[in-house]
Amino acid sequence: MKKNLTKFFYFSVIFIFCLSFLSCTSVNEKSFILATTTSTQDSGLLDYILPVFEKETGIKVKVVAKGTGEALEMGKRGDADCLLVHAKSKEEQFVNDGYALKRYDVMYNDFVIVGPKEDRAQIKSTGNDPLLAFKKIYENKVAFISRGDESGTHTKEKEIWKKLNINIKGEWYISAGTGMGAVLKMADEKKAYTLTDRATYLSMKDKISLVILVEKNPILYNQYGIMMVNPKKHKIKEKEVQTFIDWILSDKTQKLIGEYGRDKYGQSLFIPNAKK
């Protein structure tokens, strides 16, 4: 009996090992790595459109969701094949530095400033002026949570502080260093203000009690762009990525992006604006 059991044990270990080896090596299908921002993943957009792409082309998209800053760094090192990010100035710099050949507009949505219903800093009364709202947050020293991860949202936030010439320091300013969804949860728990993209906010609206206080201002415009990592700099999956870029810029996919969220939230989360 004892021998049998021991035999069975050894056998099962070897079996599992073989199985795992097989499953690991069978990952030779057509695929590429898409480095993107947490907002496209947390909002559910990618889960909505990628299965369509995978079904049409048989190419598997491996999504690594990081902040825009980190995604760009991945592109620089060649650890990602394709980038879908939202910090236009940084992206253009990326192309100018030769890390990508071309950048395409894909879609946009906008940032909103959210906060607790009580709105202690009274930023709702600013008439949707983000500059004034940030100033009030600063003057009242109410808790503000920053993404703090060099993401597109963080870049936008820093732009606004810079315009105000405010030196952000102090206990009221919390640098979270995490994704958009996590920051919204944190802001909700701490009754703090934060800058978020509308898509992630809407997709989490049911789970948090934060409300939109400032919105629809040109400053808060949020453009997403797509880039292929320069194939001359790194060995990347050029063909697969090109297929994906052509696909996401096509009329059909653009329509699909525009439709996402309409049934659930009553409005589009992303507005497609690829140039023809």
Alpha carbon 194 to its chain's center: 16
Exposed e or buried b for every residue in 183-209, given b needs 16+ CB within 10 A? bbbbbbeeebbbbbbbbbbbbbeeebe
- Smallest gap from residue 39 Cβ to another protein (A): 12
Q: Is 77 in the site for another protein (CB under 8 A)?
A: yes
Q: In terms of CB distance, is 66 or 156 closer to another protein?
A: 66
Q: Does 211 contact another protein by CB under 8 A? A: no
H, E, C per residue of 209-256: CCEEEECCCHHHEEEEEEEEECCCCCCCCHHHHHHHHHHHHCHHHHHH
| Residues 140-199, interacting with another protein (CB under 8 A) | 178-179, 181-182, 184-185
Return the exposure string of 57-72: e unless at least 16 CB atoms fall within 10 Å of the residue's CB, then b: eebebeeebbbbbbbb
Closest distance of CB 188 from another protein, Å: 8
Residue 145 · residue 187 · CB < 8 Å? yes
Instruction: Provide Rg for the chain, Cα atoms.
Output: 22
Among 7, 117, 163, 207, binds another protein (CB under 8 A): 207
Q: Which residue has the tokens 């969701």?
A: 65
196 contacts 153 by C-beta, under 8 angstroms:
yes
Of residues 60 and 158, the one with the C-beta less far from another protein: 60
For residue 179, count other CB atoms closer than 10 A to its CB: 22
Q: Is 24 in the site for another protein (CB under 8 A)?
A: yes
The DSSP bridge pattern shows strands 100-115 and 211-214 to be antiparallel
Q: Which stretch binds another protein (CB under 8 A): 83-91, 134-142, 201-209, 217-225?
A: 201-209
Stretch binding another protein (CB under 8 A), from 57-65, 91-99, 154-162, 239-247: 57-65
Q: x-or-dash pattern for another protein, window 227-266, by CB under 8 A?
A: -------xx-------------------------------
Identify the residue among 95, 132, 168, 208 touching another protein (CB under 8 A): 208
Q: Which positions lie near another protein, rule CB under 8 A?
A: 1-2, 5-6, 9, 13, 16-17, 19-21, 23-24, 27, 33, 42, 47, 60, 62-65, 77-79, 178-179, 181-182, 184-185, 204, 207-208, 234-235
